[in-house]
Structure 1
């Protein structure tokens, strides 16, 4: 077989040409430069920081990295870079004026549209990922999918859909008269009903199963100190969620609800206002995350009149919320794992970062508080391979602030620059 020089040249030229075309169409390398970068693992401040990004992902990060020729450079000057923040307890489709289950109901489509507005506000505040733990009509799931599809801007969302609760409990929020025969979509009594609703939520796209294990503050006729699901019911819900590849979160203020949820295998306790020594011990043993939502205690009481909060709910808030700080302060000092959460919707979206200062006031160092919204939060979501640190392989979710967050966490309330997935959004 004769092989000519020209045929050899042609054989080599085609793959080289294809590679050149692919390179021409590849996303340009982005280099983000800043005076400082917080390494949330070590707690150290990295000077002369450079983060290299290709497409949606970080390819390298560190001090004084060489910047490839032709890279697009974003120079943030004297600012400090951090990973995009994560809020593991939001209600993205709700707003403060909804507190107390207003008799004038909002339609599900209207809630979803309000959620789109709130999602952008949350993203621009530096929270590039959230876990939404309760929305009527699967509105949070629809919003998540719209964001993922590029229809609207917003953070990455792990969504729960309608939370599970007992008839007349904290998450049965319709407040309609009996003749209307209406209950909330997530209401489930007994093991069989609870399993059906759990599976239905997963069918319609839930990433996490939210359970109302105790009474609440912003609900009529119940007591935050009392449990609302039995251990048998909780084991059924949580067991099925885990078997089907989802995590589970329990709204739980009172001691019995906390203990029963932990014993049933819950992944996180939301609020934990009345947590006691036994609850602390169990949560440490089971390595269960506590998601305190503390700043809302300041905002809600100060703004109760403006949002027309019903008096019975305000009366409960004035008792429960100050006690929560005392009890959760003890849990923090005892070493219960903490993930960052705010209950945004009880107060305006975009103020999420005000939670950091409360955590520091209760005994955390600034880096410990920052870890709750980065390392710990990503672990709770099961997203440690995606977000939570500035490292190669992670999504290029970054924020930048003026000042020194390792000395003053309040600078996180004033995020100047936000990138999600390699795209600058603020």
Structure 2
């Protein structure tokens, strides 16, 4: 088993390491995200960024002689490119969106725990495609609670009676909810679609999500239904492009891809579009018949075989893929619970990707789903990139299911700050595999 050493420097006063200090990670196994793994490598972090990365024997003299701790594997923090922070109630039964109507502050309070679970499961960044996460993201960045970087669409656009409508409720109730913070947006006709895009951007959206087909959880529509007219879609994409929310005024990602065929795949490759296949929700939903109402599970049955074939075809055809789970449940222990995001990588390997390719789809490729104007320098261990890093107790290249269990994640660094899974006692970190006791900054996890 390879190992990884996390090395830190202190100021002359011996104070807790701040983001203005420098520290070094020395790794016997480094998985950089896009380039091949590096044995006996080192990473230097300064001001929340990676200042240097390479082979240990080539460490610049000014970075040598530092104390370190010892962990098995170091790699970039993971990305989940399709999540929803709805703050769902304890009695969530998978029956529909009605349950997220209620006190928004309560949904936000539940979401705080979900954000913590996501981060400690090794996911330092997420793309939220509808939910309350985008509107409480400032609380994370201010340090009020811990969580990943959140790049949110705030609310998906849907037609009346479409996938983003709540079909069992009176339409006026739905529209009123949308106008008062519900993370959905119902629009019909070109002028209304343009205005809705602008309103969502005003609420803080970094990307625009459009429900172009029917869905599984929504009641009245069918997954094969086409939603929005070509004219409406063109207006939405063009308006998003005006605010740099759509790359070159075109659709950047396809979510789920349940009915992709060779013609669709050829067009995706031509347009350099990215597939986010969301295996966790589809595989998990398929295996959880008793969790859903019969009419919802029937839709999982309807799409499952087609989706499974489409995913494998996309991999074999060389479509660019970024991984996302569609996690949305605040309850612990369900197939769709926040904090179980890592199983998406396992499903990618089952569908035909190599472990290294699946990790790349969950790290280096993922920021590209935001477009060049929004994407951070993240997902790779390269000079100038954000110091979002994770340490694992086992090598995922030998067994990719290691990433499915948060207990295998020993450390998570977000912008160089540690949100640690293991014992934290003030300024001293104690690990079973400690080579030397160091003083470092620890962002303590609220309990």
Which category of TM-score, normalised to the shorter sequence, fits these structures? 0.7 to 0.9
Displacement after TM superposition at 1:385 (Å): 4.8
Give RMSD over aligned pairs. Answer: 2.6
Displacement after TM superposition at 1:70 (Å): 9.4
Whole-angstrom distance in 1 between the partners of 2:85 and 2:110: 8
Which residue among 366, 390, 412 is the counterpart of 2:381? 390
Displacement after TM superposition at 1:107 (Å): 2.4
Which residue among 55, 71, 75 is the counterpart of 1:82? 75
Which residue among 393, 400, 408 is the counterpart of 1:402? 393
In the alignment, what sits opposite 1:130? 126
The answer to whether the 8 Å contact 1:34/1:48 transfers is yes
Listed one character per residue, the Cα deviations across residues 209-266 of structure 1 (whole Å, up to 9, x for unaligned) are: 1111100011101110111011111111111111111138xxxxxxxxxxxxx9x821
Listed one character per residue, the Cα deviations across residues 94-127 of structure 1 (whole Å, up to 9, x for unaligned) are: 4492633254433222222222111110000000
Give TM-score, length-normalised by structure 1: 0.84
1:350 equivalent in alignment to 2:339: yes
* Other structure's SS at 1:296 match: helix
| Corresponding residue pairs, total | 385
Whole-angstrom distance in 2 between the partners of 1:207 and 1:353: 24
* Other structure's SS at 1:212 match: coil
- Taking structure 1 as reference, are residues 109 and 26 closer, same or farther at Cα in structure 2, changes over 3 Å only? closer
Listed one character per residue, the Cα deviations across residues 358-404 of structure 1 (whole Å, up to 9, x for unaligned) are: 11111111111111111110122246652010111111100111332
Alignment of 1:26-45 (within 5 A): 27-42=20-35, 44-45=36-37
* Other structure's SS at 2:382 match: coil
Alignment of 1:36-115 (within 5 A): 36-42=29-35, 44-64=36-56, 65-66=59-60, 68=62, 73-77=67-71, 79-95=72-88, 97=92, 99-101=94-96, 103-104=98-99, 105-115=101-111
Whole-angstrom distance in 2 between the partners of 1:384 and 1:179: 37
- Taking structure 1 as reference, are residues 179 and 90 closer, same or farther at Cα in structure 2, changes over 3 Å only? closer
1:335 equivalent in alignment to 2:322: no
The answer to whether the 8 Å contact 2:44/2:52 transfers is yes
Displacement after TM superposition at 1:181 (Å): 6.9
Q: Which segment is superposed worse, 404-413 or 82-91? A: 404-413
Whole-angstrom distance in 2 between the partners of 1:67 and 1:55: 19
Displacement after TM superposition at 1:66 (Å): 4.8
Displacement after TM superposition at 1:69 (Å): 6.7
Whole-angstrom distance in 2 between the partners of 1:366 and 1:226: 35
Listed one character per residue, the Cα deviations across residues 2-53 of structure 1 (whole Å, up to 9, x for unaligned) are: xxxxxxxxxxxxxxxxxx99xx9983211222321013222x2212222111
In the alignment, what sits opposite 1:232? 231
Whole-angstrom distance in 2 between the partners of 1:25 and 1:179: 51
Whole-angstrom distance in 1 between the partners of 2:188 and 2:93: 26
Give TM-score, length-normalised by structure 2: 0.80
1:416 equivalent in alignment to 2:416: no
- Taking structure 1 as reference, are residues 99 and 63 closer, same or farther at Cα in structure 2, changes over 3 Å only? same
* Other structure's SS at 1:150 match: coil
Larger Rg over CA atoms: 1
- Taking structure 1 as reference, are residues 184 and 286 closer, same or farther at Cα in structure 2, changes over 3 Å only? farther
The answer to whether the 8 Å contact 2:355/2:400 transfers is yes
Whole-angstrom distance in 1 between the partners of 2:194 and 2:310: 33
The answer for unaligned runs of 5 or more in structure 2 is: 1-11, 179-184, 330-335, 421-447
In the alignment, what sits opposite 1:193? 192
Whole-angstrom distance in 1 between the partners of 2:167 and 2:389: 39
- Return the structure number with greater helix share: 1
